[in-house]
Structure 1
Amino acid sequence: MVDSDVTSHMDPLGLTAALPTDAQSILGLAARSLFDVFANASEGMLLVDRSGRVVWINDHYRRYLPALGFEREADFVGKPVVEVVQNTLMNQVMETGKPILIDLLSNRAGTFLVSRFPLRDEAGAVIGALGVVLFDQPETNLQPLMAKFALMQRELDEARTALAAQRKVGGGLRQARHSFASFIGSSAVVADLKRQARRAAQSSSPVLLLGETGTGKELLAHAIHASSPRARGPLVSVNIAAVPETLLEAEFFGVAPGAYTGADKKGREGKFKLADGGTLFLDEIGDMPLGLQAKLLRALQESEIEPLGSNRLVPFDARIIAATSRDLVKLVREGLFREDLYYRLNVLPLRVPALRDRASDIPALVEFLSEDLALRSALPQPEFQAQALALLSAQHWRGNVRELRNVIEQLLLRCEAGMVDAQAVGAVLRESGLSHIAPAPLAGQVPEAHGVPQDPKQAPAPLGDLVRALELDAVQHALAFSQGNKQAAAKLLGISRAKLYQCLPKVS
């Protein structure tokens, strides 16, 4: 049983007065039992009255008093709770009459996981509130939850910082449009990539982003800049593959006044100078002409450039992030990329995974992309059936996230019923001429290629057969990925084990 001073607080709540005798006794017993459980199992409890003053604390709560700045209980009890407990929300509970079941409270005594409940009289009026400290070291007791909370909070802070920087900057200065929260995915490989990228963001060394086209290298470059000490500086991007070779030198280093016929009399600053104090993102660095690589290397080593048509050296201070979808090591061996420049850039290499290597992130990407595209197109966001997501998750995705976005946009424009099923996904994939299932056959088996025949003289198979063939390919791929574990394969596809068996070919 609880102490007598605690029990005395149960009667004023008016929980039993208006009920039949049996109900009164049961509810009264339940109230006392639950109060007893909280009082003994929790890390602390306190009661406040209708005016917001602390009227009682239990023995467990008394141990926090020194950390809160009170030597005696008498100095704590009787004071307004907002004056003695920093960041409390007890007054909010009494004002709204609504409980706060789970919350994190941080103050001088530490960080706590707490619950808060309003207390009512027989007329339903709020007469006080009960606060319960569930854990006093949530970072230890709730490590997985706290780690996820910390990650979400950090990504939110990064997004807010990037947004604030965009709002403050004027005059056309270029800023990062994305943060790490924009890189959608929670798979192990993405979590490790974000961890490495955050560490890289705090350095001033060059970063080299490696990965296939469409994996999100530019987005990651924006995120690195946004979370770096240079976040308030400009982010200048150059797609080397998109600039004619004859203009690259002027694009990089700028042009001196009157450098050549037709040149601007005032001259023009290059990307290096525009990125001064910020970050210069060199996309598709593997496509840089060999003749310009020596000048780029010198600029990186000396932190100074020489504008075209000038004999004056101009210092600059820009952090370099380079990206490529090509195999730089192979280009070095073939003599198409300078080995010394490769070593200068390959200081902090980050490999951005292909979409097929993080298939578990596809449902989250589908949700994000479909919502984004629906907002842009002023259309309702469609819902994807489990089998439709299974088909999307089983694709090879040669174009990665960019290709996935294209498919979802097609589905969004075709979807009229607000629901995307496997047939709709299969139709878009076939008509787009995209590869279907990632090549991962079962041991000893070679999967057949399913799809619409390319020969116009050959009649296509019925749509139902094509969908069943796609389902079979998806199941076979999931079984290969899970090494024959049917339960794991069903979980990957988002279907039941019974449904998985239905999709497998019947053996006579």
Structure 2
Amino acid sequence: MKSDASLPLDGQRILELAARSMFDLFANASEGMLLVDKHARVVWVNEQYKRFLPALGFQRVEDFVGHPVSEVVHNTQMHRVLETGKPILIDLLSNRAGTFVVSRIPLRDEAGNVIGVLGIVLFDHPETTLQPLIHKFAALQRDLDDARRELATQRRSKYTLASFIGSSPAAVEVKRQARRASQSCSPVLLLGETGTGKELLAHAIHAASARSRAPFVSVNIAAVPDTLLEAEFFGVAPGAYTGADRKGREGKFKLADGGTLFLDEIGDMPLALQPKLLRALQEGEIEPLGSNKVVPFDARVIAATSRDLAALVREGRFREDLYYRLNVLPVKVPPLRERRGDIPALAEVLVEDIALRNGSAPFELEAEAVAVLASQAWRGNIRELRNVLEQAAMRSDSPRIAAAHIEQVLRDAGIERLPPVVMPRIRTVEGGASEALRPLAEQVAEVERRAIEAALQATGGNKVAAAKMLGISRAKLYERLEGGTLGFALRGAPPAYA
């Protein structure tokens, strides 16, 4: 033991005697002791320890002493104490000889250098001598395992491509692109207005990919303060700053290792942080805040934005090189007004989900209510549609939602309303078939035609105003009027429509 020069000679003598007494006490009271040198070789064992040798596979002390401790004692941590110089005061050690409660203490010379480690077997057969402690440890371990399983469940994808409701041409196309993107590891950029289902598609792409069993980790850039984003992305090294966790904290990139990292609202990424994000994507490694070491990661990146990234690049608010790095597999998610034919199916799914979350019986939408829903522009897209349905459900005393309920919600919210589309009624034709069982494309075309007719009538034939009311561009309106992809024209329309 190192002497203390600040003590008088008598004090030093007492300290040395105390150290020797403590050593003798442990040697006699413990279940066994062994000593390793600075090269991690066993140099001594006491008499009590020798009784463990046969179970470890050694008949003679000479076959045990002089060998590297990691070769003769399985699962030992003595070498770790040699490397760090820090003691391990209480630990459980299990090997062929049994399960033991052990302590490992570094030994130092006068200069403070670690010259060996003393290993002490405090208890053997802890299953009987330390039963209360073992029970508590086992309970804590179970709680930890449950928490890990819950966390793993939360980080799995919540949706699949089947969760993206719709069979309109626009919906089918976006699902085709998403399915194709799932087969690649390249970055995906989801473009579309807010509320169109970009996050759902990100989950679906992950679920259909080879990484589906690994974590899906998302971060909404717009929801995190700029000052915290770097730590959120790259993590924090232990003790990086005052108040930082002593153990450090992993960032989203590392949490998504092996899986998918979803960067929502990438258009709101601060310009100062964009070079670091670009480097992480290019090099596949990150540098935690307060660290000078790089950490490799393997995460597939899916980014999403409701903003015009190309315009932000032109304005100098988004790095051009980062834009090209992200825009490898762009997927444009169509707004709801461009797939009106999906509104009845979407409304039905949303109605069921609202009832499930509220713990109530599902309510029914009348045909006229669906017609009102199908005729709206839905600037907030699916999120706005859900809000209107939820409000209508809360206001209705009946299990049926009528058109009047929907119109009242729209009126109170100040939403610009379009004349309702008259949905085709189900009636039998020759052969007993239902007229509503015509090809879906024909029914969608009819719904759009009626909506355009109503808008043109409401605006006196003003195409610019009608396009604005419908929430589509003037070019898109002309495309519909001339036949376009839907193959219909307003024959016989008043001259003002032409």
The answer to whether the 8 Å contact 1:442/1:480 transfers is no
Question: How many Å separate the matches in 2 of 1:435 and 1:254?
Answer: 46
Q: Could you state the TM-score of these two structures normalised by the residue count of structure 1?
A: 0.55
Question: Kindly tell me: are residues 426 and 481 of structure 1, through their superposed partners in 2, closer, same or farther at Cα, counting changes over 3 Å?
Answer: farther
Q: CA offset at residue 390 of structure 1?
A: 1.1
Aligned to 1:129: none
Aligned to 1:341: 322
Q: Which runs of 5+ in 2 are unaligned?
A: 1-145, 420-450, 470-476, 488-498
Aligned to 2:384: 403
Question: How many Å separate the matches in 1 of 2:355 and 2:478?
Answer: 35
Alignment partner of 1:442 is 2:421: no
Question: How many Å separate the matches in 2 of 1:189 and 1:401?
Answer: 15
1:415 to 396, 404, 421: 396
Alignment of structure 1 residues 319-468 onto 2, 5 Å: 319-437=300-418, 441-442=455-456, 445-446=461-462
Question: Kindly tell me: are residues 346 and 447 of structure 1, through their superposed partners in 2, closer, same or farther at Cα, counting changes over 3 Å?
Answer: closer
Q: Which runs of 5+ in 1 are unaligned?
A: 1-166, 450-469, 471-478, 490-508
Matched position secondary structure for 2:149? coil
Aligned to 2:74: none
Question: How many Å separate the matches in 1 of 2:478 and 2:274?
Answer: 44
Question: Kindly tell me: are residues 317 and 311 of structure 1, through their superposed partners in 2, closer, same or farther at Cα, counting changes over 3 Å?
Answer: same
Question: How many Å separate the matches in 1 of 2:242 and 2:384?
Answer: 44
1:352-392: CA deviations, max 9, x gaps? 00000000000001100001111211222222222211111
Q: Could you state the TM-score of these two structures normalised by the residue count of structure 2?
A: 0.56
The answer to whether the 8 Å contact 1:254/1:268 transfers is yes
Question: How many Å separate the matches in 2 of 1:482 and 1:274?
Answer: 47
**Percent of pairs with identical residues:** 65
Question: How many Å separate the matches in 2 of 1:303 and 1:437?
Answer: 50
Alignment of structure 1 residues 102-251 onto 2, 5 Å: 170=149, 172-173=151-152, 174-251=155-232
Alignment of structure 1 residues 474-493 onto 2, 5 Å: 483=481
The answer to whether the 8 Å contact 1:253/1:308 transfers is yes
Matched position secondary structure for 2:339? helix
Matched position secondary structure for 2:151? coil
Q: Which structure is larger by alpha-carbon Rg, 1 or 2?
A: 2
- State the AA in 2 paired with 1:442: L
Question: Kindly tell me: are residues 171 and 393 of structure 1, through their superposed partners in 2, closer, same or farther at Cα, counting changes over 3 Å?
Answer: closer
Q: CA offset at residue 351 of structure 1?
A: 0.3
Q: When the two structures are aligned, how many residues end up with a matched partner?
A: 299
What RMSD over aligned residues (CA atoms) do the two structures have, in Å? 3.2
- State the AA in 2 paired with 1:445: G
Question: Kindly tell me: are residues 220 and 170 of structure 1, through their superposed partners in 2, closer, same or farther at Cα, counting changes over 3 Å?
Answer: same
Question: How many Å separate the matches in 2 of 1:342 and 1:287?
Answer: 13
1:252-305: CA deviations, max 9, x gaps? 000001111110111000000000000000000000000000000000000000
Question: How many Å separate the matches in 2 of 1:169 and 1:182?
Answer: 27
Question: How many Å separate the matches in 2 of 1:376 and 1:227?
Answer: 27
- State the AA in 2 paired with 1:311: N
Question: Kindly tell me: are residues 184 and 283 of structure 1, through their superposed partners in 2, closer, same or farther at Cα, counting changes over 3 Å?
Answer: same
Question: How many Å separate the matches in 2 of 1:481 and 1:342?
Answer: 31
Question: How many Å separate the matches in 2 of 1:480 and 1:393?
Answer: 20
Q: CA offset at residue 481 of structure 1?
A: 9.2
Question: How many Å separate the matches in 2 of 1:168 and 1:194?
Answer: 34
The answer to whether the 8 Å contact 1:397/1:435 transfers is no
The answer to whether the 8 Å contact 1:382/1:415 transfers is no
